Amino acid sequence: MTSPLTLRSGNLRCELRPDLGGCIAGLWFGAQQVLRSTPATALQDVRVCASYPLIPYSNRIGQRWLRWDGQDYALPQNFAPEPHAIHGVGWERAWAVEENSATQAVLGYHHAADASWPFAFDSRQTLTLSADALELQMSITNCASVAAPVGLGWHPYFAKSAATQIRFSAAGRWDMGDDKLPTRRLASTGLDTDCTILDVDHCFDGWNGSLQLTEGGLRLQVTSDLDCLVVFTTPARDSIAIEPVSHVNNALALAQQTGVTPESLGLRVLQPGETFAARMRIQVEPLA
């Protein structure tokens, strides 16, 4: 196991597991969890971490079937019993530590084309901790010899209690079917609600890049330059997934089914050597 990394600034502490999907094991404000958190040395499964990177796509590729530029690719089933491919490959692979200081870490992952994703790419995460915020940046560069579809995002799980409130604005919501794939788009203004009875698993588009969450005496401001947001929780869960992402779930297949362009659903098409980058920020403020 590559040694975990710890970033500290003021009351904030962030623990990382580069070897376990380049994930964040935990984010704390003093002794209080900001994200669903486990000490890095105790974390065994990336699926129960605080946050992991979504790269080179977000959410699901339906029936794990990728059709691109006239060619079909069967991707592995990586979240049984679901029949889909999910969340890309970054969360399944070890990341290298390229730089590390008391308040910043730079992680890198080079993907050689394989059965899990047929296009080579380079990716980088930069995580920077200040006294009141965690700043995340991520990039992907197409290393294939052909144009390739890409997306990216983050999958953080925020701590949730009976007092948690969420508020953000959006333009639309993609409803999920029983198969966890989007079925239709409805107009939506976003959410402004208590999370106690919230039962949601949707991708919102037209997000304005800002979200407020209050939890356990903390006010969190989540911002990003991405304009899609996946939100998932149920009343029984003690966390809420709030995922800034670049594209609608199952975007490539959905575009092909509906006759729209993949770009209109947020998917990027990178030419060889081209890079796509995004950022996310979690600001933490104690309530007065």
| Helix/strand/coil for 142 | strand
pTM: 0.96
Q: Please compute the mean of the pLDDT values over residues 51-79 and round it to a whole number.
A: 96
Q: pLDDT digit string (tens) for 93-144? A: 999 999 999 999 999 999 999 999 999 999 999 999 999 999 999 999 999 9
Residue 265 neighbours by CB under 8 Å, 6+ apart: 205, 247, 248, 251, 254, 255
Specify the higher pLDDT residue, 258 or 275: 275
Question: How far apart are the C-alpha atoms of 69 and 257, rounded to whole Å?
Answer: 15
Q: How confident is the model at residue 1 (pLDDT cuts 50, 70, 90)?
A: low
Question: How far apart are the C-alpha atoms of 239 and 26, rounded to whole Å?
Answer: 13
Domains in the chain, CATH or no CATH each: 5-286 (2.70.98.10)
| CB of 173 closer than 8 Å to CB of 191 | no
Q: pLDDT digit string (tens) for 254-274? A: 998 888 999 999 999 999 999
